[in-house]
Amino acid sequence: MSLFPEARVLGVDLEHGTVAAKTIPGEIYRLYPGGSALGLYLFLNRIKTGVDPLSPGNVLVMAVSPLTGLPISGLSRVNVTTKSPLTGAIADSQAGGFFPAELKANGWDAIIFSGRAPEPVYLYINGEKAELRSAASAWGRVTGEAEKEIRAEHAEDNLHIAQIGPAGENMVKYASIMNMCNRANGRNGTGAVMGSKKLKAVVVKKGKKQKPVNQERVKELSAETKDRIQANSVLRNLAENGTSGDLESLNLVGHLVTRNWKSGWFPEGAEKITGTKMTETILKKRDTCYGCVVRCKRIVEVPGMVDPLYGGPEFETCAALGSYCGIKSLEAIAHANQLCNMYGLDTISCGATIAFAMECFEKGLLTKKDTGGLELTFGNEEVLPEVIEQIASKKGFGAMLAEGTREAARQLGDGFPELSIAVKGQELPAHMPQQKPSLGLVYAVNPFGADHQSSAHDTVLSANPKSGVWNKLKQIGIWKGYEPDRMTVDEEKVRFAYNSQCFYAVADSLCLCQFVWGPVWQVYGPSELVELCRYGLGWDTSLYELMLAGERRINMMRHFNAREGFSKKDDVLPERLFNPLPDGPSEGRVLDRDEIEAARDLYYRFAGWDTETGNPTEAALKRLSLGWLLEN
Ligand code: SF4
């Protein structure tokens, strides 16, 4: 085994107010090489079975990777692992920005938070110095104000802050962790766990970045980034128009989630809420994460309404707070995005929950009496700010919506679970399985609920056979292309789902931005990732070793879920996806239930899991050096 760095980890006991440094030996770190995998290793070694996610017994881990902060695009992301208050399953969420690179630059690979502080605190890190400080002046404030308070206390701007807003403090089940006030560890309610621990923020001082082992080779690889972007129309669009640059094209094929998933067609609004429209109207400038030349992030401004500090809406936000709710004003979406970033709310679950409430209102399950007089109709952009504020503060009917759609549907009565469009309690992101059935399979089986960044999407399989996409896909064992309208999830699609999920799992462990490093259309592909590990770290690895690390990460999550009582019964898609779409270019399109169920069983077999329960077998765990989990 070649040399691999040790992981340097901070253990923060919030109850006793202590901070202790420890190291994880290189031979262990190599098996769990950062981010999600390292987070799971540390989490699973500490968490007890059946812990209430919002109790002091929950554990929350923030982790980066040995690659974080190296001088090449797409290497500044932080992963958060904990038990989700939204789903009760494993929580796993990534965010970019500058905070991840600076955490690593201070010499730390992970932070483990346990217990609950008696009073609000934040963790301050300046190199070897790491201490808990009172967060009394920042607690209760929105993210922008809390940042100012913390900066004023240190009398300097050279700080990078990951924090929760009032929604996290109030333990809204889908509260996020924000850094730069506009980058979110959005999904799974990780911010609520921080809030339950009375942990307001993690503050790091700007540090000295690590250098690659082979600076020349990394420089050569990095020098190609701009040319590769120019040569790739998907990446050019991403850079110029952000992640919502493609929104309108989804509508053109009838797959833009509309009015709580009742339709995939939003002809009256799609064109008004696209990334191109944003570029033409409210975009102030493009923004970036540490060291990245893609600059896909948006900073928007609407005078008197939207402050550039809070960034700009991503594709998922334009859909969830836009078409999901039938809202066609980009300004209203940008304002709602700002409120979510101020209060620290996941924009996907927040928008999806409002869309759910709008359908309840349409059906008479919620009335003006419940909403405090709000006309909660699809398309009514004026209600968004008030509803978001009520959710964040858990006031009025916002208290019910703050629980997420699954619990809100339960509170409304047993007859309405079909209005909650969620898997394992997590609201679906804005890619429709009716168009992308293998993604639908991954929505169903993914351990932390439906997720659009856990596997490659079916549409790439229609790429021109001569395009570079196929060179990358073949590296991870995918060979078969499909006609664009061939909506199936057959054996080859299951392979595509599983293999690409393993690759994305290692990407989330090495803390890579999936727009730069991926198995399909991204700037760099699998073979270049191996080169990066070799030249950046001197890690003489292979794609085989990396894919195994990805599988290991997925199996750790599934093992935790099995311990918590999750099984095959939880790997199911919302009923609405099995009803034919009613209108537009995708009229009549529907998921085939038998095909999805057969694909799920085949997926379990590919993974080596029990097809009766969907849980990892002893053999599967031992194959991945995870036998120790069976003793926990
Ligand atoms: S591609 Fe976009 S999200 Fe990814 S690192 Fe670059 S700027 Fe950040």
- If asked whether residues 387 and 465 sit together in one domain, one would say no
**Tally of structural domains, the chain:** 3
User: Is residue 223 a part of any domain in this protein?
Assistant: no
Element (H, E) at 287: strand 283-287
Other CB atoms within 10 A of residue 454 CB? 24
Is there an atom of ligand 1 within 6 Å of 513 CB? yes
- If asked whether residues 141 and 262 sit together in one domain, one would say no
- If asked whether residues 41 and 173 sit together in one domain, one would say yes
User: Is residue 213 a part of any domain in this protein?
Assistant: no
Is there an atom of ligand 1 within 6 Å of 234 CB? no
Q: What single string gives the DSSP state of each residue in 484-495?
A: TT-----HHHHH
pLDDT at 1 over 50: no
Is there an atom of ligand 1 within 6 Å of 95 CB? no
Q: Residue 169: what residue type?
A: E
- CATH number of residue 259's parent domain: 1.10.569.10
- If asked whether residues 365 and 487 sit together in one domain, one would say no
Residue 285 has φ and ψ, to the nearest 5°, of -165, 165
pLDDT at position 81, please? Answer: 98
- If asked whether residues 389 and 254 sit together in one domain, one would say yes
- If asked whether residues 131 and 31 sit together in one domain, one would say yes
* Closest by Cα among 165, 169, 51, 147 to 99: 147
Domain boundary among 372, 402, 427: 427
Q: Residue 386: what residue type?
A: E
- If asked whether residues 477 and 412 sit together in one domain, one would say no
pLDDT at 2 over 50: no
The span from the CA of 18 to the CA of 231, in Å, is 51
Summarize the confidence of residues 553-577 as an average pLDDT. Answer: 98
Q: Does residue 138 come out as left (phi exceeding 0), alpha (psi in the -120 to 50 range) or beta?
A: alpha
- If asked whether residues 422 and 514 sit together in one domain, one would say no
Is there an atom of ligand 1 within 6 Å of 74 CB? yes
- CATH number of residue 539's parent domain: 1.10.599.10
Q: Are 429 and 316 in contact (CB under 8 A)?
A: yes
* Closest by Cα among 437, 378, 508 to 39: 508
> What's the Cα-to-Cα distance from 507 to each of 42, 111, 126, 184, 547, rounded to whole Å?
18, 20, 28, 18, 10
What's the whole-number average pLDDT of the chain? 96
Locate 580 and state its tokens.
Answer: 């034919």
What's the domain range around 263?
244-427
Helix (H, G, I), strand (E, B) or coil at 60: strand
User: Is residue 214 a part of any domain in this protein?
Assistant: no
User: Is residue 227 a part of any domain in this protein?
Assistant: no
- If asked whether residues 53 and 169 sit together in one domain, one would say yes
- If asked whether residues 336 and 447 sit together in one domain, one would say no
Summarize the confidence of residues 127-155 as an average pLDDT. Answer: 97
pLDDT at position 487, please? Answer: 85
- If asked whether residues 249 and 133 sit together in one domain, one would say no
User: Is residue 226 a part of any domain in this protein?
Assistant: no
* Closest by Cα among 44, 49, 190 to 564: 49
Domain boundary among 397, 427, 457: 427
Is there an atom of ligand 1 within 6 Å of 7 CB? no
pLDDT at position 485, please? Answer: 79
* Closest by Cα among 125, 117, 138 to 56: 117
Ligand 1 pocket mutation pick from 295, 508, 511, 514 by most atoms within 8 angstroms of CB: 295
- If asked whether residues 543 and 611 sit together in one domain, one would say yes
* Per-residue pLDDT tens digits for 28-60: 999 999 999 999 999 999 999 999 999 999 999
User: Is residue 495 a part of any domain in this protein?
Assistant: yes
User: Is residue 386 a part of any domain in this protein?
Assistant: yes
Summarize the confidence of residues 73-92 as an average pLDDT. Answer: 98
- CATH number of residue 51's parent domain: 3.60.9.10
User: What is the β-pairing status of strands 18-24 and 7-13?
Assistant: antiparallel
Domain boundary among 181, 205, 229: 205
Q: What single string gives the DSSP state of each residue in 214-257?
A: SHHHHHHHHHTHHHHHHT-HHHHHHHHH-GGGGHHHHHHTT-S-
What is the pTM assigned to this prediction? 0.97
* Per-residue pLDDT tens digits for 249-291: 999 999 999 999 999 999 999 999 999 999 999 999 999 999 9
The span from the CA of 432 to the CA of 452, in Å, is 10
* Per-residue pLDDT tens digits for 393-448: 999 999 999 999 999 999 988 667 789 999 999 999 999 999 999 999 999 999 99
Locate 75 and state its tokens.
Answer: 């290497």
Is there an atom of ligand 1 within 6 Å of 297 CB? yes
User: Is residue 2 a part of any domain in this protein?
Assistant: no
